[in-house]
Amino acid sequence: MGQVTKQKYLVVVVGPTAVGKTDLCVQLAKHYNTPIISADSRQFYKEMNIGTAKPSPEEQQGVMHYFVDSHSIAQDYSAGAFEADVLGLLETLFREHDVVIMTGGSGLYVRAVLQGMDQMPETDPQVRERLVKQYEAEGLKPLLAELQKLDPLYFDQVDRANPQRVIRALEVCISSQQPYSSFRTSDKQERPFQSIKVALNREREELYQRIDQRMDQMLEQGLLDEVKKLYPYKQHNALQTVGYKELFDYLDDKYDWAEAVRLLKRNSRRYAKRQLTWFNKNPEEYTWFHPQQWQEIVTFINAQIS
């Protein structure tokens, strides 16, 4: 008879920016006596501290956090690489723990761990360079028109306000001479653990207020100085992001300080909205809670475990 291995559980806690994932996950980690894996694609980078709302040592409360400060901004780090690294780490962690917690707002990175990444073809770097130059010169409109022509299916699904996604899809279409959507098979890969999926949300008013407060706090903590230090890397994928982009534009004299702060808050609220849309529309069903429903969340997790 083969040895029966005990079922292992990955508790995944997602939600929009500023909803309160860190506090809840630290409490859960203490409750289950287990570490936390961060699936926030910007907290990987040592140089990005303030603008990523990275949990401070005080906030971490002695709980081990993996993939916080794990990379330098000079390194590119993809969702596919994250998937491989996390699966390797989980193999080790599950030797000692039956439950591990993973949390973050980066839907693509969470999905990579839960069900794998699509295999994308090799692309021509020159194609990408041309597309980026075109975007910088003419904006997103002509690129969207081209995407609609080359891959109408993906055009209907893509976040049309996200230049990275649009450029990435076009890069694949042009390099491979095939629609980007044809590579997105999402064949779910089997995992040696069971995932328990929790999503957090608050009333919109309350969430937006927390986002505005968080932005004020980041500015007080010295976000502008952090952005100045990162200026040489501003083309880096991780920095094409809310909290950094607006202040790069301010440093480039595209608008004044008051406008930069207004855009910072507005774009953060829009980002939260996009995160909620992502976690709502994906087939890997989440169960939604308010971050303060501690008892209900623990009861839900324990029910899945038993």
Do 94 and 27 reside in the same domain of the chain? yes
User: Does the predicted TM-score (pTM) go above 0.85?
Assistant: no
5: pLDDT confidence band, cut at 50, 70 and 90?
A: low
* CA-based nearest residue to 112, from 186, 7, 162: 186
Residue 188 belongs to some domain of the structure: no
Domains in the chain: how many in total?
A: 2
Whichever domain contains 165, its CATH number is 1.10.20.140
Do 257 and 295 reside in the same domain of the chain? yes
Residue 285 belongs to some domain of the structure: yes
Do 294 and 203 reside in the same domain of the chain? yes
pLDDT at 115: 87
Highest-pLDDT range among 21-30, 184-193, 284-293:
21-30
Residue 3 belongs to some domain of the structure: no
2: pLDDT confidence band, cut at 50, 70 and 90?
A: very low
Own/partner contacts of 126-130, CB < 8 Å, gap of 24 or more, are: 127/170, 127/171, 127/174, 127/175, 128/167, 128/171
pLDDT at 214: 96
Work out the mean pLDDT of the chain and round it to a whole number.
92
- For the stretch 10-29, pLDDT in tens is 999 999 999 999 999 999 99
Q: Which residue has the higher pLDDT, 101 or 156?
A: 101
Q: Which of 7-21, 78-92, 131-145, 175-189 is the least confident region?
A: 175-189
pLDDT at 186: 62
pLDDT at 284: 65
pLDDT at 1: 44
Q: Average pLDDT, stretch 157-179?
A: 89
Distances (CA, A) of 151 to 39, 198, 236, 270: 29, 33, 26, 26
- For 276, residues 6+ apart whose C-beta sits below 8 A from its C-beta are 16, 201
- 10, 104 contact by CB (below 8 A): no
Do 72 and 143 reside in the same domain of the chain? no
| Amino acid occupying residue 141 | K
Do 158 and 278 reside in the same domain of the chain? no
Do 278 and 168 reside in the same domain of the chain? no
3-state secondary structure of 13: strand
Residue 200 belongs to some domain of the structure: yes
End-to-end CA distance of the chain: 24
Residue 88 belongs to some domain of the structure: yes
Do 174 and 216 reside in the same domain of the chain? no
pLDDT at 159: 83
Percent over 90 (pLDDT), the chain: 73
Do 145 and 283 reside in the same domain of the chain? no
Do 262 and 212 reside in the same domain of the chain? yes
pLDDT at 79: 87
Whichever domain contains 80, its CATH number is 3.40.50.300
- For the stretch 29-64, pLDDT in tens is 999 999 999 999 999 999 999 999 999 999 999 999
Do 210 and 165 reside in the same domain of the chain? no
- For the stretch 101-117, pLDDT in tens is 999 988 889 999 998 87
Q: Which of 173-182, 206-215, 217-226, 249-258 is the least confident region?
A: 173-182
23 lies in which domain range? 9-118+193-305
Distance CA 28, CA 32 (A): 6
